Structures are given as C-alpha cells and as structure tokens.
Chain A
Amino acid sequence: DQQVKQNSPSLSVQEGRISILNCDYTNSMFDYFLWYKKYPAEGPTFLISISSIKDKNEDGRFTVFLNKSAKHLSLHIVPSQPGDSAVYFCAAETGNQFYFGTGTSLTVIP
C-alpha cells in the first residue's frame, strides 16, 4: 500500500546549487503534505508543510510545490548547504493518519 512514493532513494548536489526532492501520491483525499528531515539515530524533524488548497509554500531556503492534478509535490532547497545532508521524507495526512514515503537521502557536496 504505497500511497506516498519517493522514487529517488538518493540525490547528490553541489553546495550552493538547488536540491529538488520529489514525491508522488495516489490518494486524492490527502489534506496536508509535509516534509521531514532525518539524521541517523534521530527522529524525523518537521521541515515545511503545505495544505492541499495551496500550490506553494516558502520558508527561507525551503519551498514546497504541490501539483494536485499530477498528484506530485516537490521540495526545493536553495542554496543547498552541507548541513542539509540527511534523509528527507515526504508525508501526507488524511483523517489524522499520516503516510510517509520511503525517503530520499540527500548529500550536499562541499
């Protein structure tokens, strides 16, 4: 039951460039989408979210784009920094139940 998918298990980006992490979903009932960042041996940390009624939300270097017709969201990190290296999970919420993707491991090369 893969309602939320992250098809790229890993991504490498040069410091200062843009990182684009992608996420696809299948359930049109999702109300809210979130991105979490996870370092090894730690729990996920909330990064940014977007309501299903919006198509863009920006917070500093992080921007999330939502394309409802394509059931696709993306996280843009500009400029990427070495400290951004972590696993990024997208998640979707409906009825107080949250579904996570499998994660994308981002490496930002100094």
Chain B
Amino acid sequence: EPEVTQTPSHQVTQMGQEVILRCVPISNHLYFYWYRQILGQKVEFLVSFYNNEISEKSEIFDDQFSVERPDGSNFTLKIRSTKLEDSAMYFCASKEDTGGYEQYFGPGTRLTVT
C-alpha cells in the first residue's frame, strides 16, 4: 500500500541552525501539507501546497519557514533559523485531489532544538 515517508525520523539541531525536513508524498497525490505537534498539544496546520505553490498557510508559517518541491517526488520544509519553540513533531501529509478530503500522513519527524 502506498504511504507517505519522512526523513529523518529524529533531528537534533542547535538554536539558530537551519534544518530541512523531507517528505515523499504518495506518488499520484496533488496536495501536500505540513503540520506540527508540540508535545502534549494539538496538531497544528502549517501550510498546504498545490501546483508548485503555497495555497494556504497559517500564522505559524512565518518567514522562517519555506516549502519546496524540488523534484517530482520530494516535498521539503525548511526552517531557516531554528528556535527552541520549534521543537515538535512535524508531519507531512498528502491528498489525492479536491474531490476527497482524506489526507495520508507520514510517520513524522521529531525535531529537537537545543
């Protein structure tokens, strides 16, 4: 069964460093998403991406964040200068088309900023 994959599973970085979280969505999906979940809190929407551009983003997704689909398979989230409060689980998700709302989530990347 096709699945969304994410790498790395755990990333430790120092405050101020740049990190890139990688996702490989399901191949025939057209919509891509990033979410984060701070420990003990709700899953929060960050950004949605369609047709090689951002379609929606939340207030959390400020200038420190960027997304890219550098090739036909990868979908990346970059945090330019990490802060302690960026420590969270980051989930990538993909969705087939506008006709359906079912998103398939990856297993997540745990980002720890020290």
Contact = CB atoms under 8 A, between A and B. Distances in A.
Nearest to B106: A43
Interface residues of A, number: 23
B45 A98 contact: yes
A49 B101 contact: yes
Contacts of A98: 33, 35, 45, 103
Contacts, number: 56
B68 interface: no
Nearest to A47: B102
Given A32-B101, A34-B102, A96 B56 contact: yes
Contacts of A16: none
Given A32-B101, A49-B102, A96-B31, A42 B107 contact: yes
Given A43-B106, A98-B103, 9 more contacts: A41-B108, A42-B108, A43-B107, A45-B105, A46-B102, A89-B43, A96-B98, A97-B56, A103-B42
23 contacts: A34-B101, A36-B105, A43-B93, A43-B107, A44-B91, A44-B105, A46-B103, A49-B102, A89-B42, A89-B43, A91-B43, A95-B56, A96-B55, A96-B98, A97-B58, A98-B33, A98-B35, A100-B35, A100-B44, A100-B45, A102-B41, A102-B42, A103-B42
Interface of B: 4, 31, 33, 35, 41-45, 48, 50, 55-56, 58-59, 91, 93, 98, 101-108
Interface of A: 1, 32, 34, 36, 41-46, 49, 89, 91, 93, 95-103
